Amino acid sequence: MNQPSATPILQARGISKYFGAVTALEGVDLSLAPGEVLGVVGDNGAGKSTLMKILSGLFRPSDGEILVNGRPVHFHSPRDAHRNGIEMVYQDLALAGNMRIFENIFLGREPGRTFGGLTLIDQAGSRRLAAEHLERLQIHVKSVDQNVEELSGGQQQAVAIARATAFAAKVVIMDEPTAALAIKEVGKVLDLIRRLKDHGVGVILISHRMDDVFYVCDRVMALFHGRNFAEARLADTSRNEVIGWIMGTKGHSTALAHDKVI
């Protein structure tokens, strides 16, 4: 297993976001090293989704800065984030169910040649590259020609992750990747996240599931009311403590709280 580098691949410094009179984020900091999985937790309305949308280029911050490999960057759209190696896998996956696996992996970024403004898509090349990429990530499907709608929920999540990492991604942000999965498929997706570490990819995992956080993350940070609340390496904290952070308390939390957040 790769050990996180001392140099952050992605940093957010003093990020604030205002929607009129509403403060969604206030002075939030975040850092992520190559090959590290960072769990981001917090109750509904804590600011997790807003922060991730800023990091992935959907929102522009009202204040603060983002750095990639120590260099300040400015994202005006998700395309700018993509160019800097930052990809996001949304909870709804945003896959085209009636299209084949290889078509989904390269959707909007198909390999091919452009002639006079028209692109001739290299379907054979797309199939080959998709199969090689799935093999590299140890994602097993019958064929890259299968329609995505034929796949199980876990396989669809794996295809979404494969799409996010097909273009030399440095960072992948995942929003509740196991929320809609059957129990038997959860472990496969979490193991895939671990394999991303072996490829040096940094992962930000948004999750309410403490089982997921403590299985796959190296470090966890909690947001509360749009601000940094607490942060620790997983080895230096406990499930009950992290659940307490989500609820806005530091120290020991109750078994009842543990029952509510699993």
At CB < 8 A and 24+ separation, what contacts does 245-248 make? 245/41, 246/41, 246/42, 246/43, 246/46, 246/222, 247/43, 248/43, 248/224
User: What is the tens place of the pLDDT at every residue in 18-58?
Assistant: 999 999 999 999 999 999 999 999 999 999 999 999 999 99
| Helix, strand, coil distribution of the chain in percent, nearest 5 | 35, 25, 40
pTM: 0.87
User: What is the tens place of the pLDDT at every residue in 176-185?
Assistant: 999 888 888 9
The structural domains of the chain, ordered by start, are 10-95+168-260 (3.40.50.300)
Tokens at 174, concatenated: 């995942």
Residues near 191 by Cβ (< 8 Å), separated by ≥ 6?
Answer: none
115 band by pLDDT with thresholds 50, 70 and 90: low
Q: Is the pLDDT reported for residue 197 higher than 70?
A: yes
Which CA distances in Å does 68 have to 6, 31, 202, 245? Answer: 14, 10, 12, 28
Q: What is the mean pLDDT of residues 143-158?
A: 94
Pairing of strands 171-175, 86-89: parallel
Residue % of the chain over a pLDDT of 70: 89
User: What is the tens place of the pLDDT at every residue in 198-227?
Assistant: 899 999 999 999 999 999 999 999 999 999
232, 220 Cβ separation under 8 angstroms? yes
104 three-class SS: helix
